[in-house]
C-alpha cells in the first residue's frame, strides 16, 4: 500500500497539466460537473452529485485523461451499477448517453465486479459506427460498486494493458479513499475549530472570573451561537437536586430546580447517556417534561465517572439540525465539565490558601498572648459566631461571641469535648443558620491546633492553682447570675452549677458536692447566716464564701460564726472574689480588706486591752510582760481546727490526711496561722492560742 501511495504522489507531481476546477463527490467518490472539458459527470445512483460536496483536490478530468493515455484508449469512463443498469459517473471522450448494456453483456459485468479484468470486442454500431474493443475492471470501494472501462478502435487490449487497467482502478479506489478522508477531515476540522474556539473562550473566562455562574452563563451563550441553537441551558447536580445555573433562549429561570431523577435531564443524569429528541416530547420516560421541545440534544456533563450536570441544546436555527454536530457537542460538553472541575478546584485552592493565611494569623495572635484576637480571628475567618478555648483542666483561655445563644452553645461544647493528645486545648465553636458538616472537621482540628498555642504562652486569666476548681454559685438575681458565670469562666474556674434558691443549692450539694460555694445572702428562701447554716447541715467541711452588698460588722460576724469561710463584697474587684474562693479551697481565711477592717474595729474577735496612745492597736500578752503583739484578723473555723491539730502534735502530713487537704495546703495554712497570731513558729502559735483561750 505504501508503494501505491507513492505512485499516486509521483503521478500528481509529474502531471504537466495545470490544476483544473474541482469536482463534487459521488458518495465518498469525487466527481466533476457537466461540461467541464472532455470529462463529464452524470447523475449518481443515489440521486446525483451535490454542489456542496465538491472535493477540490479530486482533479478527475486529468485522472481519466492519464488513464486513457496509459491504456492507449480513445475514451474512458467510470461506471456505477444501479440494479441491472450501468450509469456513467465520469467520462473522457465518451458520449454521456452511451448504452453500456449494449457494449457489455451481463456475464462480463458480473465477472468484472467479481474482480476479473476482462477485454472484449464491441460490434459496430454499439459504441459508434465502427467495430471497437473494450476493457472492464472493478474499482474497489468500501460502500459502493463501480467499474472502470476503456474503449478504442483497431486492436484489442493486450494482457499488459489489462494489468495496467487493474492498477489504474486500484489508483482510482485509493483516490476515492483519499477524497473521503479529506471530506471527513474537513468536517472534523470544522468541528474542531468550533471546539477550539469554545475552549479558548472557556480558558479566557477562567482567567477573567473565578465564579462558576459567570463562567456557565458565558459558555451557554457561546454554545448557542456556535451551534446555531435557539436555546441552551446548563444544569448542575447539587445533592439530590438539579439546578439551572445558565439559560439562554429558554424560558426557565436561573435557580429553577427539580429532583435529580425527574424529567429528561434527570433521566440523562441517572443513565449517563445522551438523548436526541425530535418534535414534541411524548415519551413515557419524560411525559409532560417539554411538549414544545422541537429538536433537542441533552447530554451529560462528566467529571471522570461522575455526572455533575447536563447540557441542553434546543431548536436549531438552520435546516440541518444538530445531527452533524453531535460529536462536537459531546466534546464541548466534556470541555465545559472540565472547566467546571477546574474552577471548583481553583475555588478549593483559594479557600485553602485563605485558611492557611487565617491560621497563620491565629497562631501569631496566640503566640503573642493575645487570646481575644486569636479567638476573634478564628471566628471571623472560618464562619463561627462564637469561639471558646479552654485548657485541658477547664480553664477559660479565650472567648469570642457575637450573641448569647452561640456563646452558651460554644461554652457547653468546649466543656464537653476532650482535648486531643498534644493539643493542650479544648475548643468549642458555634454558629447560626447551618449545621457543621463532617467535611469541616479537618479545618476545625487545625484551628484547634493553632489556638493550642494559648496553652503554652503563659496566658492565664487566673493563677494555675485555680485549675479545676468547681464552684457552686447561689444568686437569685438573673443579671447577677450571668455576671457571676462570666466571671468564673473567664477566670478559669469550672461552674458546677448556678442556683437561685438555697433549697436548690442544698440539693445540688447533696448530689455532687463542689469545691467551694459562692453564696448570696439575700435569697428568697434564706438570708444572712440562715443560708450558711442550711448548707452546713448537708456539708460541714464545704468552703463557703459569702457574697453580699452588706458590710455591717455584725452581719459579717454572724455569717462567719454560722460557718462561712469568708466574706466578700459584691462591689469588690473580680481578683478579690477569685482570691477569696482560692483561699477558702485551701482552708484559709477569706476576707476582703474592707471586711477585715470592719471586724478589726470591733475588737470582738480577739480580746484586747486599753493601751497608751503610742501602743494603740496593740494587743498585750499579759503572760509575757512587755511583749506587744499587733492586732490580728479573727481565725476562721478551719484555722481553729488546724490549731487544735497542731496543739495535739500532728505533723503536716497527718493534718492533711485528717482534714482531707493537700500537704502543701496545710503548710501554707500553718504559715498563715503563725502570721495571724504573731508567733515565731508553730509551737509558739499553739502557746499563744492557749493563753488567749482560742483553743482548750
In which band, very low, low, confident or very high, does the pLDDT at 597 lie, cut at 50, 70 and 90?
Answer: low
CATH code for the domain of 661? 1.10.10.10
**Residue where one domain finishes, among candidates 185, 219, 242:** 185
Question: For 491-565, where are the E strands, in sequence order?
Answer: 494-499, 516-520, 522-523, 526-527, 544-548
Please indicate, yes or no, whether residues 8 and 132 belong to a single structural domain of this protein: yes
Domain boundary among 405, 435, 456: 456
Is the pLDDT at 598 greater than 80? The verdict is no
Please enumerate in sequence order all residues whose Cβ is within 8 A of that of 35, keeping only pairs 6 or more positions apart, or say none: none
| pLDDT, mean of residues 198-204 | 63
Q: What pLDDT was estimated at residue 76?
A: 92
The answer for residues whose C-beta is within 8 angstroms of residue 612's C-beta and 6 or more apart is none
145, 226: one domain:
no
Which among 304, 310, 306 is positioned nearest to 250, based on CA atoms? 310
- Whether residue 607 is predicted with pLDDT greater than 70 in this model: the reply is no
Q: Within 13 Å, how many C-alpha atoms sit on residue 252's CB side?
A: 22
State the pLDDT at residue 552. 82
**Domains of the chain: total:** 5
User: What average pLDDT does range 450-454 have in this prediction?
Assistant: 78
Q: 89 in a domain, yes or no? A: yes
Answer for the pair 50, 21: CB distance below 8 angstroms, yes or no: no
Cα–Cα distance measured from residue 546 to residue 530, given in angstroms and rounded to the nearest whole number: 12
Say if residue 6 is in the same domain as residue 121.
yes
Residue 519 has pLDDT above 90, yes or no: yes
Strands in 191-338 per DSSP E: 229-238, 241-248, 257-259, 275-277, 296-303, 306-316
For residue 663, being part of any structural domain is answered with: yes
Q: What is the pTM assigned to this prediction?
A: 0.39
DSSP-derived letter for residue 443 is H
Pairing state of beta strands 275-277 and 241-248?
Answer: unpaired
Could you give the CA distance from residue 169 to residue 158 in angstroms, rounded to a whole number?
A: 17
pLDDT category of residue 188 using cuts at 50, 70 and 90? low
pLDDT in tens, 541-581: 899 999 988 878 888 888 888 888 889 888 788 878 888 88
Q: pLDDT tens digit string along 336-351?
A: 888 777 777 777 777 8
pLDDT tens by residue, 228-269: 788 888 888 888 888 888 888 887 888 888 888 888 888 888
Q: Which residue has the higher pLDDT, 658 or 54?
A: 658
Sequential DSSP letters for 364-385: HHHHTT-HHHHHHHHHHHHT-S
Q: Could you report the per-residue pLDDT of 274-287, keeping only the tens digit for each?
A: 888 776 655 666 54
190 domain-assigned:
no
More confident residue, 21 or 281: 281
CA distance 51 to 585: 105
563 and 637 assigned to the same domain = no
Q: Please give the pLDDT value at position 492.
A: 79
Does residue 159 share a domain with residue 45? yes
Same domain, 223 and 170: no
Residue 257's beta-bridge partner residues?
243
Domain boundary among the residues 456, 482, 512 is at: 456
Same domain as 510, residue 443 = no
Q: Are residues 248 and 267 in the same domain?
A: yes
Q: Do 306 and 416 share a structural domain?
A: no
479 falls within a domain: yes
Would you place residue 456 in the very low, low, confident or very high pLDDT band (cuts 50, 70, 90)? low
The 10s digit of each residue's pLDDT in 134-156 is 999 998 887 778 899 999 999 99
Q: What is the mean pLDDT of residues 369-386?
A: 86
Question: Is 357 a domain residue?
Answer: no
Kindly state the helix (H) or strand (E) to which residue 150 belongs, with its residue range: strand 145-152
**122 shares a domain with 32:** yes
Domain that holds residue 663: 613-691
Identify the CATH number of the domain in which residue 73 sits.
3.30.450.40
In a domain? residue 362:
no
Indicate if 180 and 227 belong to the same structural domain.
no
For the residues 278-299, what does the mean pLDDT come to?
Answer: 63
pLDDT at 639: 84
pLDDT at 205 over 70: no
Give yes or no: residues 594 and 473 share one domain.
yes
Element (H, E) at 473: strand 470-474
Q: What number is the average pLDDT over the span 284-292?
A: 53
The yes-or-no verdict on residue 72 having pLDDT over 90 is yes
For residue 244, being part of any structural domain is answered with yes
- Domain-located, residue 113: yes
Q: State the DSSP H helix or E strand holding residue 474, giving kind and residue range, or none if neither.
A: strand 470-474
Residue closest to 407 by CA, chosen among 415, 67, 691: 415
- As a whole number of angstroms, the longest Cα–Cα distance in the chain is 173
Position 318 pLDDT exceeds 60: yes
**pLDDT given for residue 24 in this prediction:** 31
Res 422: pLDDT: 54
> Cα 232 from chain centroid?
28
Share of the chain above pLDDT 90, in %: 12
Task: Please count the other Cβ atoms lying within 10 Å of the Cβ belonging to residue 72.
Answer: 14
Measured at the CA of 132, the angle between CA 131 and CA 133, to 5 degrees, comes to: 145
Amino acid at each position: 500500500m505504501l508503494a501505491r501511495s507513492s505512485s499516486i504522489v509521483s503521478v500528481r507531481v509529474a502531471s504537466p497539466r495545470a490544476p483544473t476546477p474541482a469536482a463534487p463527490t459521488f458518495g465518498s467518490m469525487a466527481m466533476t460537473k457537466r461540461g467541464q472539458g472532455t470529462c463529464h459527470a452524470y447523475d449518481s445512483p443515489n440521486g446525483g452529485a451535490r454542489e456542496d460536496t465538491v472535493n477540490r483536490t479530486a482533479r478527475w478530468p486529468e485522472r481519466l485523461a492519464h488513464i486513457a493515455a496509459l491504456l492507449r484508449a480513445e475514451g474512458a469512463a467510470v461506471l456505477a451499477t444501479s440494479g441491472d443498469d450501468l450509469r456513467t459517473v465520469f467520462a473522457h471522450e465518451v458520449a454521456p448517453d452511451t448504452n453500456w448494456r449494449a457494449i457489455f453483456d451481463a456475464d462480463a459485468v458480473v465477472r468484472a465486479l467479481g474482480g476479473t479484468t476482462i477485454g472484449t470486442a464491441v460490434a459496430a454500431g454499439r459504441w459508434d459506427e465502427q467495430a471497437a474493443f473494450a476493457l472492464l475492471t472493478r474499482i474497489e470501494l468500501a460502500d459502493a460498486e463501480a467499474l472502470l472501462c476503456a474503449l478504442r478502435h483497431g486492436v484489442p487490449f493486450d494482457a499488459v494493458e489489462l494489468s495496467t487497467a487493474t492498477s489504474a482502478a486500484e489508483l482510482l479506489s485509493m483516490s476515492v479513499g483519499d477524497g473521503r478522508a479529506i471530506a471527513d477531515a474537513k468536517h472534523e476540522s470544522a468541528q474542531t475549530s468550533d471546539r477550539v474556539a469554545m475552549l479558548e473562550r472557556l480558558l479566557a473566562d477562567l482567567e477573567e472570573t473565578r465564579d462558576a455562574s459567570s463562567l456557565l452563563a458565558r459558555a451557554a451563550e457561546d454554545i448557542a451561537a456556535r451551534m446555531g441553537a435557539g436555546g441552551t441551558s446548563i444544569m448542575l447536580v447539587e445533592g439530590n437536586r438539579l439546578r439551572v445555573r445558565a439559560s439562554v433562549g429558554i424560558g426557565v429561570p436561573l435557580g429553577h430546580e427539580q429532583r435529580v431523577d425527574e424529567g429528561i435531564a434527570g433521566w440523562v443524569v441517572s443513565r449517563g447517556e445522551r438523548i436526541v429528541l425530535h418534535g414534541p416530547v411524548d415519551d413515557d420516560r419524560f411525559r409532560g417534561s417539554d411538549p414544545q421541545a422541537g429538536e433537542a440534544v441533552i447530554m451529560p456533563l462528566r467529571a471522570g465517572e461522575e455526572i455533575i450536570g447536563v447540557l441542553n441544546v434546543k431548536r436549531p436555527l438552520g435546516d440541518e439540525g444538530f445531527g452533524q454536530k453531535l460529536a462536537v457537542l459531546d466534546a464541548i460538553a466534556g470541555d465545559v465539565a472540565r472547566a467546571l472541575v477546574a474552577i471548583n478546584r481553583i475555588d478549593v485552592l483559594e479557600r485553602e490558601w485563605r485558611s492557611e493565611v487565617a491560621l497563620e494569623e491565629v497562631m501569631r495572635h496566640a503566640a503573642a498572648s493575645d487570646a481575644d484576637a486569636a479567638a476573634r480571628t478564628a471566628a471571623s475567618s472560618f464562619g463561627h459566631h462564637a469561639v471558646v478555648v479552654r485548657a485541658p483542666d477547664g480553664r477559660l483561655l479565650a472567648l469570642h461571641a457575637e450573641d448569647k445563644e452561640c456563646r452558651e452553645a460554644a461554652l457547653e461544647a468546649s466543656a464537653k469535648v476532650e482535648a486531643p493528645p498534644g493539643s493542650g486545648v479544648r475548643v468549642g465553636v458555634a454558629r447560626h443558620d447551618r449545621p457543621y458538616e463532617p467535611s469541616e472537621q479537618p479545618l476545625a482540628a487545625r484551628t484547634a491546633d493553632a489556638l493550642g498555642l494559648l496553652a503554652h504562652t503563659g496566658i492565664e486569666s487566673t493563677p494555675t492553682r485555680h485549675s479545676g476548681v468547681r464552684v457552686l454559685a447561689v444568686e437569685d438575681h438573673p443579671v447577677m447570675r450571668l455576671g457571676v458565670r462570666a466571671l468564673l469562666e473567664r477566670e478559669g474556674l469550672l461552674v458546677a452549677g448556678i442556683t437561685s434558691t438555697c433549697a436548690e443549692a442544698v440539693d445540688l450539694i447533696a448530689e455532687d458536692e463542689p469545691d467551694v460555694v459562692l453564696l448570696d445572702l439575700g435569697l428568697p428562701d434564706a438570708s444572712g447566716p440562715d443560708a450558711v447554716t442550711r448548707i452546713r447541715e448537708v456539708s460541714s467541711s464545704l468552703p463557703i464564701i459569702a457574697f453580699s452588698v452588706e458590710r455591717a460588722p455584725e452581719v459579717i460576724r454572724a455569717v462567719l460564726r454560722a460557718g462561712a469561710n469568708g466574706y466578700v463584697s459584691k462591689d469588690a474587684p473580680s481578683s478579690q472574689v477569685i482570691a477569696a474562693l482560692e483561699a477558702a479551697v485551701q482552708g484559709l481565711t477569706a476576707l476582703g480588706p474592707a471586711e477585715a477592717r470592719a471586724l478589726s474595729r470591733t475588737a470582738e474577735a480577739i480580746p484586747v486591752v486599753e493601751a497608751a496612745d503610742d501602743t494603740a492597736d496593740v494587743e498585750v500578752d499579759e503572760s509575757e510582760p512587755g511583749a506587744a503583739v499587733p492586732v490580728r484578723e479573727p481565725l476562721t473555723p478551719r484555722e481553729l481546727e488546724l490549731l487544735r491539730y497542731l496543739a495535739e502534735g500532728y505533723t503536716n502530713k497527718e493534718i492533711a490526711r485528717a482534714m482531707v487537704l493537700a500537704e502543701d495546703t496545710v503548710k501554707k495554712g500553718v504559715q498563715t496561722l503563725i502570721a495571724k497570731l504573731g508567733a515565731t513558729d508553730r509551737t509558739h502559735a499553739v502557746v499563744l492560742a492557749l493563753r488567749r483561750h482560742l483553743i482548750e
